[in-house]
Amino acid sequence: MEEHYTFTLNENVIRTKVTFKNHFGIKLVGDLYAPKDLPATKKNPAIAVCGPFGAVKEQASGLYANEMASRGYITLAFDPSFTGESGGEVRYMNSPDINTEDFMAAVDFLSTRENIDPDKIGIIGICGWGGMALNTAAIDTRIKATVASTMYDMSRVTANGYFDIANSIEARNKARKALMAQRIEDFKAVSSGGTYKLAGGVIDPLPEDAPQFVKDYYAYYKTPRGYHERSLNSNGGWNVTAGTSLLNTKLLAYSNEIENAVLVIHGEKAHSRYFSEDAFKNMTEGSPFAANKELMIIPEASHVDLYDNKDKIPFAKIDDFMKSNLK
């Protein structure tokens, strides 16, 4: 059966399936992209790519990896733990700790390949994985350049709601009680041969009065443009209780201590723009490492435009940023 990708492989790029393990022993599956004319003896720069949150490597991360490989990099688009073709049980879970480790394991994998220079490795995180990329860059000093594209801070939106509308002790305690009640129901269900309850996939059918950003998600995940049979967002979503760790963990706590370069990219019209602007402010205000941090706002672009709209994704800027910092 032919693999399903939501984009066309560049004619000058080779794609190879690879596997590697993270420090939790979970097997991760990725696609390694490389230029066809790559000299066999050259030590090359490399980039690991992941995201969006709830997507798989055959979607936006693969598109980014494919494009950057066509520009001369060895790139790795991978499925995170518990999703896609990667391992991890129970399925459709997430963890700020394990998912940060997933990115670090991708850097491990790239650093040990003979044709990659371990001192020239960057990462690109898309959507919720933009936040994970910044969290990884805060701990992994091997990462010389980080791009966060159309970023979500998943811990913030889980704990505070969109636009921080539920940022109160009362609202979080209500959410905690609902999660704990669901844990009991899931335990009963699994004990009797059932499964965990899912939620959070893109709504289908789409209500006429849905907000524009929900319509944008539908146009990507639920149509041939971006649908993938393994994508959580294209289908039933995450386990309801997958939000437990995100509700109890703050990502980006040490992002103002990232020494190496960071480029944050967001669409002008994106509902999620505030995540990137606040993350950039946190990395720069009062930080001794502000000089190599950049924020780029793309005119007229929505959140989902930066998943696959090559007229709006600033690949030339990403290329220049990587070339400047992976040297």
Phi, psi of 213 (to 5 degrees): -70, -30
Model confidence over 216-253: pLDDT tens digits?
A: 999 999 999 999 999 999 999 999 999 999 999 999 99
Say what percent of the chain tops pLDDT 70. 100
- Determine the pLDDT at residue 200: 85
Asked whether the predicted pLDDT for residue 159 surpasses 90, the reply is yes
Say what percent of the chain tops pLDDT 90. 96
Closest C-alpha to 137, from 123, 149, 151, 150: 123
Average pLDDT over residues 185-197: 96
The one-letter amino acid code at 215 reads K
- Determine the pLDDT at residue 42: 87
pLDDT band at 257 (very low <50, low <70, confident <90, very high): very high
291-325 as b/e, with b when 16 or more CB fall inside 10 Å? ebbebbebeebbbbbbbbeeebbbeeebbebbeeb
Rounded CA-CA distance 292/50 in Å is 22
Asked whether the predicted pLDDT for residue 137 surpasses 90, the reply is yes
Both tokens of 22, joined, read 């993270």
Q: Does residue 205 have a cis bond before it (omega within 30 degrees)?
A: yes
Model confidence over 24-67: pLDDT tens digits?
A: 999 999 999 999 998 878 899 999 999 999 999 999 999 999 99
153-166 as b/e, with b when 16 or more CB fall inside 10 Å? bbbbbbbbeeeeeb
Model confidence over 77-132: pLDDT tens digits?
A: 999 999 999 999 999 999 999 999 999 999 999 999 999 999 999 999 999 999 99
Count of beta carbons in the 10 Å neighbourhood of residue 245: 18
Phi, psi of 267 (to 5 degrees): -80, 140
- pTM score, whole prediction: 0.97
